[in-house]
Structure 1
Amino acid sequence: MAASNPSKPLPLPPGSLGLPVIGESLQFFQDSDFVSKRQERHGAIFKTHILGRPTVMIYGAEANQTILGNESKNFENSWPASTKALLGPLSLALQTGELHRNRRKLLAQAFKPRTLATYVEIMGDIAQQYTQKWQQAETLTWYPELRSFTLDVACKLFIGQDNGCQTPLGQHFETWCAGLFSLPISLPWTKFGKAKRCRDLLLQELGQTIQARQSMANPGNDTLGLLLQARDEQGQGLSQDELKDQILLMLFAGHETLTSAITSFCLLTAQHPEITARLRQEQQQWKSKEALTVDDLKQMTYLEQVLTEVMRLIPPVAGVFRTVLQTCEMDGYQIPQGWSVQCSIGSTHQDQALYSNPKQFDPERFSPEHLAQQSTEQQRYGYVPFGGGIRECLGKEFARLEMKIFAAHLLQNYEWQLLPNQALDLVVIPSPRPRDGLKVTFKALSE
């Protein structure tokens, strides 16, 4: 595969651009198999028109390396119009070039190893509060509860707010999230229109929090405190407007996709008791400890394999969008300047050229022995749940940490089983989740 100017006009990829204006957006939102159906018909590359733009969808390690590895050369970071409007113009997700590199360095302070180590106890405490509540309930619909859990963790660690899901900020946040990947029709009753209103309310809430923190002699050691003190290479700090957009992005990244990944872990372990039994066996050596440490978490090698496989089988992000900066060629097709390209993460993770029996849940494929047989390129661009290249998810180690702490706490203390007669097929937008919300029985683990 190459990304270069063709010497002569080439055909566009196969596929349909759908209806005028809306293209195939409705099918994209309503059909969880939208991508796979078109890949069966057209192959690894096809064209469509979604979220307001003509788009080429493609998958595979080579495609990922070409697109994600050529940021600002042939391709530029891109988001659907609804996402851009709701994230805000100062968000790291929308910044490019030198500004993006500069801001990424500043925001990275919240995810350095020594900072992450300070998060462990708080994550564990909030996990304990929630699991005790679930034990008392005995049966529950787990997905909305997990959303509340991850939002509480994000609010506490990023802005120092307790019980974030129960605050006005938490309520506005859920409506805002629901509109991030929607048709950008700004009417009061649409998902996008409601989300725009909630963005304004969220910015008001965050502005008040920032102002209150700025008036303190010590701004604190949470993420907001670190960012208030952060300075770039020219000695400049973040404006209040940018702080609000960046914090909003971090709350989203530490909540939406992380909830999906944790839910998938709970679902897949419930469906594979033999894997759960092995996970529990590994956890025995830490069961008597009052609090886990980062070193303890590093030793949970089988849990690491399982979580890695969870995000391969059900990646929390379906794909990564880029804008084509200049007309180029891929697999013998013309990709016009100004179009969008989406690297399909889900399809890459189902590529039989990369993974044998890709639909099977098999943590052994990430054992040290198996990984030793893979090329660096396959590991780097064939497994991309956090994206890749210079825009790889800044908070991926935060996500891994929270997933591990939560999973270890569950495995050591509780058991859960799926309730019958529920739909477990996945709704995939904005991130995968079981259609009926994952209904389970939940109780303390029998000794």
Structure 2
Amino acid sequence: MSSRAVFDHCILLLPMVASTPAPLPPGSFGLPVVGETLNFLFDREFAKKRQARYGAIFKTRLLGRPTVVLMGAEANQFVLSTNMDSFSWREGWPGTFKQLLGESLFLQEGEEHRRNRKLLMPAFHGPALVGYVETMQSLTERYAQKWAAQGQLTWFDEMKQLTFDIASTLLLGSEPGSQTTQMSEWFADLTNGLFAPPIHWGWTPFGKAVKARDQLLHHIEQVVKERQARPTQDALGLLVHSEDEEGNRLSLEELKAQALLMLFAGHETTTSMLTSLVMSLAQHPDVWEQARQEQAQLMETSDAVTLEQIRQMPYLDQIVKEVERLYPPVAGGFRGVVKDFEFNGYRVPKGWMALYRIDAAHRDRTIYTDPDRFDPDRFSPERAEHKRADFSLVGFGGGPRICLGLAFAQLEIKLVAAHLLRYYTWDLVPDQNLEMTPIPTLRPRSGLKVVFKKRAIAPTQVTADQTGQRQP
């Protein structure tokens, strides 16, 4: 065959080569229908094992749907930013979430999401945050005094009550007391139903969750109507009277759904991070001591934790980042695939489910030195390990849909932590199970049992003996 004939033959083959689709990701769909759902739910190393075998992308079947799992900072950026038009929030989460959390910002897409996010924004940023500090501080001190009187407590449960009181007071305008206690119990039932089988019988976890949702929505409706008649400066009051460029406001049903989401998001993940933070301080006396010294210096100008002071706590900021990295409240996010895409040379079809794993990037050895170790200094200006790769720290999400309440949550976490560091001390009760359980949000299995007491001396007098034990 002449060289010209060979060239022509190759040209004819080009369309065939170009039309050959990329392969599906490696992995296994597992058993019929069930797939690998049971392994996913009960084996905490499920994703890590498959990443070791298949790499940063693999296929499986979860909850009856073919699923692609994406691992690492590059995958986070792909899902959360550069290719987010291939994914749907609404189509990614189980039906239980849609039923229990309603038509809120959490499940909205496109223009509807952008419009409502803009309406919600003023309640979580800028001047609104300034007005939240005093309430956060007074509630924190009220709970701390109660904990000191108790002496020994299970801190996760107590921390959840504190964060719910803060959320319900600042977001809904509720007064702490029997009403917020009842609402907190309803929210506990609602949360327990998010991952439960959708069986509507009243005695099932999901049945109880539906009842709790209805009770919460009924209460919120009454509060919305009060805010419509008499404006207030809590988040719901701001939201009731918030307008877009065309003068449109949220309807009653929209307000109820957004308020329910605000309460849910405003205390669940914050409780997880605060519990992990106080546990980590107790486990690392050297970190605790350095954090206390930072607070001691700030107390020379003001005993109260002010917003201006919170901006002057670089070491506490490093601790919060390290807690977010090592103990993210949720391990990943589900999305529905609404458009075919390719990643790392593999094709993922429309109609699949996608799961990006937060913890994969957070423990990536190419980004973080000795990633299983608690080390706040990795976020110091000198090391700044999270800047080695974009989207390597995504405990609060990332991209255009980063957590709306990020500034609110960080303010609350830092204020509570700073107050406890200044005036209180605690020790972990021995022989408890501190293994972290991920559902519905990350927390120690024991709930974190501690002995809690008021400090008897100024923070500047704290020392450590040769064994690393704190000296009162």
Q: Cα distance 1:151–1:354, how it changes in 2: closer, same or farther (>3 A)?
A: same
Deviation at 1:367, TM superposition (A): 0.5
CA RMSD of aligned residues (A): 1.9
Correspondences of 1:20-419 after superposition (within 5 Å) = 20-70=32-82, 73-77=85-89, 78-89=92-103, 91-163=104-176, 166-216=180-230, 219-287=231-299, 289-371=302-384, 374-375=387-388, 378=389, 380-419=390-429
- Equivalent residue pairs, number: 436
Secondary structure class of the residue paired with 1:62: helix
Contact 2:25–2:68 under 8 Å retained in 1? yes
1:135–1:374 CA distance, 2 compared to 1 (3 A): same
**Can you list the C-alpha shifts for 1:219-254, whole angstroms capped at 9, x where unaligned?**
100001101110112101111101011011111111
CA-to-aligned-CA distance 1:323-347 (integer Å, 9 cap, x gap):
2122222223221211111110011
CA deviation map 1:161-214 (0-9, x unaligned):
122674432221110011223333444343223212211111111111112222
Question: 2:4 is matched with which residue?
Answer: none
2: CA distance, partners of 1:316 / 1:435: 14
| Larger of the two Rg values belongs to structure | 2
SS in structure 1 at match of 2:370: coil
Instruction: Give the SS at the match of 2:335.
Output: strand
Letter of the 2:360 counterpart: S
Counterparts in 2 of 1:237 and 1:253: CA distance versus 1, 3 Å:
same
Q: In 2, are the aligned partners of 1:120 and 1:293 still within 8 Å (CA)?
A: yes
Separation of aligned partners in 1, 2:219 and 2:41: 31
The answer to whether the 8 Å contact 1:313/1:349 transfers is: yes
Q: TM-score normalised to the size of structure 1? A: 0.93
Deviates more, 1:346-355 or 1:404-413: 346-355
Local SS of the residue matching 2:162: helix
Structure of greater relative contact order (alpha carbons < 8 Å, 6+ residues apart): 1
Secondary structure in structure 2 of the residue aligned to 1:369: coil
State the SS of the aligned residue for 1:357.
coil
CA–CA separation in structure 2 for the residues paired with 1:25 and 1:206: 36
Give the TM-score taking structure 2 as reference length.
0.88
- What secondary structure does 2:58 align onto? strand
**2 CA distance for matches of 1:267 and 1:31?**
24
Distance in 1 separating the partners of 2:25 and 2:282? 41
Question: Which segments of structure 1 move beyond 6 Å, counting only runs of 4 or more?
Answer: none
After alignment, is 16-25 or 277-286 more displaced? 16-25
CA contact (8 A) 2:379 2:385 kept: no
1:195/1:287 CA distance change after superposition, 3 Å: same
Q: Report which stretch shifted further, 291-300 or 147-156.
A: 291-300
- Unaligned 5+ segments in structure 1 are 1-5
Does the CA contact (< 8 Å) of 1:52 and 1:80 recur in 2? no
- 2:350 is aligned with what amino acid? Q
Find the aligned partners of 1:135 and 1:10 in 2 and give their Cα distance: 61
Task: Find the counterpart in structure 2 of residue 3 from structure 1.
Answer: none
